[in-house]
Amino acid sequence: MDTLICSACGCSLVRLGISTEQAVPHVHDGQQHHFCCQGCCDLFVAEPQKYLRLTDGVTVCPTCLGEKPPDRVATFTHAGQDVPYCGCPYCVEMFRQDPSFYIQRLDGTLPVDAQRALGGTWWCEAARQSRKMSMVRSTRAAPAHEPSGIIG
């Protein structure tokens, strides 16, 4: 299960609501890269090796769409395959309730209408519920599943 990430900042293009067609493309060493904006593409073009190192192995949780570096990724098994995720038990629970939805959303094949039904691709239902719960617990608490980008 792979999803497109910006090759400069490491953000999930799915989380940002950017399709492959909307992403800024650039070919480096014969490999196609996608960027969330022209600014990230320009950064990458100036120092490709730096950004390849920063984004190497970044994994996106299929449920909350949070980006994680390789050393912070957990896995669970679904249909005989390891599924990388953020480590939150609630994300596993939500994924197991409707795996085809989360797989399609992550690989960009979920119809736009289904994404809109969730209020866009930025928050999945697990993150929305978690956000509601964290706001109930404390008005100062940040959402427990707020996606995180890589800061280079």
CA distance 114 to 2: 20
| Residue 4 placed within a domain | no
Same structural domain, 24 and 55: yes
Find out whether 74 and 92 touch, Cβ atoms under 8 Å.
no
Same structural domain, 95 and 119: yes
Predicted confidence pLDDT, tens digits, the chain (152 residues):
567 899 999 999 988 888 888 999 999 999 999 999 999 999 999 999 999 999 999 999 999 999 999 899 999 999 999 999 999 999 999 999 999 999 888 887 776 555 545 544 434 444 445 444 433 333 333 334 434 444 44
Q: Which domain holds residue 45?
A: 13-59
| Residue 1 placed within a domain | no
Same structural domain, 83 and 41: no
The pLDDT score that the predictor gives to residue 104 is: 86
| Residue 2 placed within a domain | no
**pTM metric for this prediction:** 0.68
| Residue 46 placed within a domain | yes
| Residue 3 placed within a domain | no
Residue 13's alpha-carbon distances to 18, 93, 118, 143, in angstroms, are 5, 24, 17, 20
The pLDDT score that the predictor gives to residue 23 is: 93
User: What's the domain count of the chain?
Assistant: 2
The pLDDT score that the predictor gives to residue 118 is: 53
